[in-house]
Every structure is written in C-alpha cells, then in structure tokens.
Chains A and B, each alone.
Chain A
Amino acid sequence: MFLHNYRYSLVVLLRNKGLVFWTLAFPVIMALLFHMSFAGIDDAERFSAIEVAVVDDDAYQNQVIFARAMEELSKSEDAVLHLHYADSTEAEELLNNGEVTAVISIQKREPVVRVLSSGIQETIVQSVVEEIRCDSEVISDLAKEEILAEIGEDGTDLDFERIFTDISKAVLSVKSKVNNLNQKEYSFVMIEYESLIAMTCLYSGLLSMTLMNMHQANLSAVGKRSTVAPARRGAVLAGAMCAALTVQLITLMMLYAVLLLIVKADFGNDIGKILLLSLSGSLAGLTLGAAVSVLVRTGENAKMTVLLSIVMSGCFCSGMMGIVMKNIIDKHLPFINWINPAAMITDGLYALYYYGAVDRYWFDLASILLFSVVMTAVSIGGLRRRQYDSM
C-alpha cells in the first residue's frame, strides 16, 4: 500500500505543472537571476568603493567601538566603503549633490543611515553598517559581561588584565572580519542565497499540502474515495509524504547544483552541515504544508494563501529583502524568530558561514526538528479523523 501510494503520488506531483514550476523550477530560476544581477555588481563595482559621508560629531566619537570599526573598514585597499568625515550640514550637501551614496550618523547611540533612493549600493551600505553595529554591540556586551562577572565574584579586585585580553581578542577578530569586508566577499550576496535556500525548503509545503488535500474526504472528491477504501490510513499518507519528500530532494539537488556549479557560491567547508540543515528545513516545510492542509478549514485557495503568506513573510523577516529587516526582528521582536522556520534555517546558515558558530548551528537544527515534530503531531491529529460532521 505504501509503495502503491508513493508511486502514484509521485506521478500526481510531477504532472502538476503549477507545482513543478513553483517548487522545482522557481528556486533555480531565482538563483540564476540573483547570479546574473550580482555578477554585474561584482564586475562593475569591485574596484570602486562606495562613497559615504560620516557625521563626525560627539555622538559619533562616543560610540568608540563603532567609530573605530568604521575607520578600520575604510583603510583596506579594496574597501567596500570610502568615508568622508563631515558635519551634518556638509554631509547632507554631499548627499544631495550626489557625491555620496549615504550619510551615516549616530542618533540616540544608534547608527542611522540616510539614503535618497533604494538601489543596490544603498542596500550594501545599510548592510555593512548593520553588520558593524551588531559586531560593536557584541564587543560592548562582552565587556559589560566580563566586568559584571568580575564584580560579582569578588567585589573589589577587577582582573583588568584578563578583561583586557578577552576584549582585545574580540576586537581583533572583529577587526580582521571588518578588514575582510571587501566587495568581492561581501555577505550581501550570500544572504540572498541563504534566504533562497530557506524559501526553497519551505516551498515543499506546497507539495505536501496538495497531496494531503487529496486524502481528506471533506476537502476533495478523491479524498472521499481514498477514505472509503479499506487501505490503512498510515500507509497511504506515509506513501504520499515520501513522494513529496522525493520531489523536494530533487529540488534541493537542482538548487545546489546551480549554486555550486554555475553560481559558484562559496559555502565554506561545511557543505555537509548545510545540506543537513536544508534537509531538515525541507522536513519543516513538508510538515508545515500538511498542517496547513489539516488546520485551515476553508477552500484550497485559502490554504494556498495561508501557506504562501507564512513562507514569504517568514523569509522576509529573516532577511530575504535585505538584512535590515532581520536585525529589526532580532532586536525588537525576537519571539518571531522562535516560531519562524525560515529564520531558523537562515540563522543556522549564518551561524556556519559568518561566525563558524557550530553550537548555534546545532541549536537551530534542533529548533527546526522540533518545529517539524509539532507540525507532524498537529497533522496526524487531524488526518487520523475519518468521520466528519459535514463535508
């Protein structure tokens, strides 16, 4: 029964042109489009830093770590930003004359980027500043923690030497990272690819949702047929889910083939872990689709809308349209990340790629699996039912 259902579910999925486009072709097309547009940036602008004005006032100088990092950043040969220190009126003039792309200033202890339009250069500036802000925050938090810990232990004698070495180490690592923020390697591109991976994983929900709709008597005519048959429910549904998983594996293989062979994206040395994360992410997508099929009681279109809204807003919140959104969420609405599978996937990828933070990677992976387990439980609860109050 399992194989019978697996086989025909596979045919049903692969013959559905809409599904094949959205789940199989769309991610690959997106990857190629990203590649084409980014390839342009790299070639045209690799050797010209983006001109930026910095409002060099007291507020700016007070953010010691941020200011130092910015300075560090513009020193290197192929630096991504070229800084012009100015006062606020001058800076504004430069911006209006088109001599700089953005004005960076510190307001209420936070860096603010002012731009006049929303092109790629503007986005890059915003991302760079955002990155530096995060890093400087990490360092100042670390400093605070170290000092508080010392005070807590003993109260009087601060081990300045140790605090100093710890913080210097952190500063050094940030410094080397900032120095590496040149245009060729700049993360902006990778962020887009990572969001694309998250989206691809979660799009698999379309596959499982389509099949689950076909096996519920209150949702479709074929569902009635399937329900009146003497076949074991578990075997029928497992066959369908495995078919969805198979199609998703094909999708992932195609996407990674494009990313690695054509785009030549640099995923570092941990490609195994990245694949594992993609696989778990797909599981989250598949179970999410099944849960939507069971829980959303209205028609098929409504289900589709709900699923796509969850996936797209999830991807948006986790950096698909630029990292700024992700950081806003991280900072002000962190609970969204706890339930957003897209955030778990991208966060796991960031953890590996930028920070080499393996612990955080495993934590994200575990969150994704937990999410899948919850979705599975919800779906099984609904799918086991075979008698309805109305249909």
Chain B
Amino acid sequence: MSVILEVSHLTKEYKTVKAVDDLSFTLNEHEILGLLGPNGSGKSTTMNCILSLLRYSSGSIRIHGKEMSPSAYDLKQEIGVIFQDVAVFEELTVYDNIRYFCGLYIRDRKTAEAYIEDAIHLTGLEDYRKFYPKQLSGGLLRRLNIACGIAHKPKLLFFDEPTVAVDPQSRNNILEGIEKLREQGASVIYTTHYMEEAEQLCDRIIIMDKGKILASGTPDSLKSITSVTEKVMAEVPRLSEEKLHKLEGEVTNGSIRYENGRLVVSFHDGKDHITHLIDILRRMQISYLRIYSERPTLNDVFLELTGKELRD
C-alpha cells in the first residue's frame, strides 16, 4: 500500500485561534480516511491547507512525495474537491456547471463529454441536466456539487461534509457513490461530524478536536478505546431526583446519566444487562416508554476522550 498524501506537523493559526495544531497523518492508496470532529475542530481548515488555499504557519504537505503548492499543476490535476459550501454557478445549468469545472482539468472535448456523462450517472442527475441550481432540491444540489468536483476523475478526493442537510435517501446515494469512486481507484479524505457516516464508510478514522488528533484507527479499533461494553437506554419521561439517586444505588456495575427524558446506563462489564435493568425499573415503579440496548459508538469514544458529545 503506497502513501498518497502525507501531512506532517501542520499548524495553522488564525489571528486569535490555533485552528490546526501540529497535525500529522497519511492517506494510503484506495483508502477512505474519515476526519471526524465537532464544529470548529479544524476539519475544513486542514483541508484548505492541504489544497494550498490557506497559508499555514508550519508543517509540510506532500502528495505522491511532492511538495504541494499553488502552482503544483500536476498534483492539482489529480485532485478533486467537494467543498462544504455548495460551489456552483447559479447562472449555469446542471450540465454546464459540470462542463465548466471539468473543462478546467480536461481539455479534450470528447473525453470531457464522456467524463461528464459518467459523473451525471454516478450522482444520478440524469433527469436534471437542463435544470438550474435554483430549481434543485437541497439533496440534488449537493449531488451537483459532488458531480462538479469528481467529473475529471481525480485520484485524490476531498469531501468536506457533503451530506449536510440531506435526507437519508440522498445521503445513502452519496455514500454509495463515494464507495464506487474508491472502487474505481480513488483515495478519499472524508470530513464529517456524523459518526454513523464515518463508521459506515471509512476504512480509517481520525478523531479531531481543537485542531489536534485525539485518536485514530479503524472504526472497530477506535471503539475498543472505550471501556463501555453496553449501553442501555430507556425513555423515561419523568424521574424525580430522589428516585434517580436511589436508582444509582441499585445499579452498582454501571454509570447513569439522565437528560431530556432519556436514561442512559453505561456498563463496563460485558453485555446483556437489559433484563436486569428492566427488573430494577419495575421494582422501583419507574415507568418507561421504550428501552433498548446499544453497542458502544464513536460518540462514546469521543465522550470518553473529551468529556463532551460529538454532536451538539
């Protein structure tokens, strides 16, 4: 497996904030690497530094072993970017938008036209060629944003939260598309603050906060960081302080949190605690609407690493 992108000791300071703090990581060929972090953790800044859009304070960025710079045209030719903000011309149709951006990379008209068709199929925009961006729904617009970034068949792809404000249906389409691109040989950096997406899509995940890497590894290896083995959630509309206190005394092998009508009990010693908990709740006459068990998620990892939730 060869390394495509190597970021070492990247630091970027804005006037007052250190947005990226001594960040180092690599991206391997055919890999989908997730950058997972809450709002403001420095994901977009990292990406814009890698793309040479932002000047950074220190560190180096190498692609295929070559220093990335604003005039590294050969490297830029291989890169495709899907920005967090939809970047399309309001005045151009779906087709012309893709055509314009593809044309910045591919000069031969025939090749470009074939590539555009591929991009349209991959993003499922066949029926919307003549539409203007204003006429597209949020999900379709995101898909157009993606089509504009991938049409020139780049080998190295950056996705910055491409699924923000997209319904689950469209989101799945997008994730499948990215998977397909990887199958076709692309390597991908995927930025998100949705842990489910990262878990589903990424081979490897970097969890960041405040510009630093907190942990990295495959989704499974990351989950083994947390000592939580099972979480049982119960929807409890009302629970008095007193009862909560008493409950904490009853459940000796788990830690209890109660907020927004949700009771979460995290266990650190194996699985299958749900029946035991149901017994306790019955005995204490605490009524609940729904109770279910969950395996630990990346959110638990994040919670354990930072003491706060990934999503606010």
Contacts and interface: CB of A to CB of B under 8 A. Distances in A.
A12 B89 contact: yes
B33 to A, nearest CB: 19
Interface in A3-44: 4, 8, 11-13, 15-16
Interface core residue of A15, A230, A386 (most chain B CB under 10 Å): A230
Interface string A169-192: 000000000000000000000000
Interface in A341-391: 386-391
Nearest to A4: B103
B60 interface: no
Given A12-B89, A222-B87, A387 B100 contact: no
B104 interface: yes
B109 to A, nearest CB: 10
A58 to B, nearest CB: 68
A71 B115 CA distance: 80
B87 A224 contact: yes
A230 B156 CA distance: 14
B256 interface: no
A253 to B, nearest CB: 22
6 contacts: A8-B92, A8-B99, A225-B149, A227-B53, A228-B51, A386-B53
Contacts of B86: 221
Nearest to B88: A222
Q: Which one of B14, B104, B107 has the highest number of Cβ atoms from chain A below 10 Å of its Cβ?
A: B104
Interface string B257-270: 00000000000000
A222 B89 contact: yes
A54 B154 CA distance: 82
B52 A386 contact: yes
Interface SS of B by simple majority: loop
Given A229-B76, A230-B104, A388 B54 contact: yes
Contacts of A226: 104
Contacts of B92: 8, 11-12, 15
Contact of A214 (B48, B89, B103, B107): B89
Contact of B48 (A12, A225, A231, A391): A391
Interface of A: 1, 4, 8, 11-13, 15-16, 214, 217, 220-222, 224-231, 236, 386-391
B196 interface: no
Given A221-B85, A224-B83, A391-B54, A229 B104 contact: yes
Contacts of A390: 14-15, 54
Contacts of A221: 83, 85-87
Contacts of B100: 4, 8
A17 to B, nearest CB: 9
Contact of B54 (A12, A222, A236, A387): A387
B103 to A, nearest CB: 5
A44 B151 CA distance: 66
Contacts of A227: 53, 70
B167 interface: no
B68 to A, nearest CB: 11
B241 interface: no
B91 interface: yes
Contacts of B77: 230
B148 A225 contact: yes
A390 to B, nearest CB: 5
Nearest to A16: B91
Nearest to A231: B104
Given A8-B96, A230-B104, A387-B54, A224 B89 contact: no
Among A4, A12, A220, A228, the one with the most B-chain Cβ atoms within 10 Å of its Cβ is A228
B146 interface: no
A229 B54 contact: no
Given A4-B103, A217-B53, 18 more contacts: A8-B89, A8-B99, A12-B91, A12-B92, A214-B89, A220-B87, A224-B87, A225-B81, A225-B148, A226-B104, A228-B51, A228-B52, A228-B81, A229-B104, A386-B52, A386-B70, A388-B53, A391-B54
A4 B104 contact: yes
- Can you list the 9 inter-chain pairs with the closest CB atoms, starting with the nearest? A221-B87, A15-B91, A229-B104, A230-B76, A230-B73, A386-B70, A221-B85, A12-B91, A387-B55
B96 A11 contact: yes
Interface string B64-98: 00000010011011010101011111011000100
A1 B51 CA distance: 21
Nearest to B44: A391
Nearest to A8: B100
Contacts of A231: 104-105
Interface string B23-47: 0000000000000000000000000
Nearest to A386: B70
B101 interface: yes
Contacts of B54: 387-391
Contacts of A13: 91
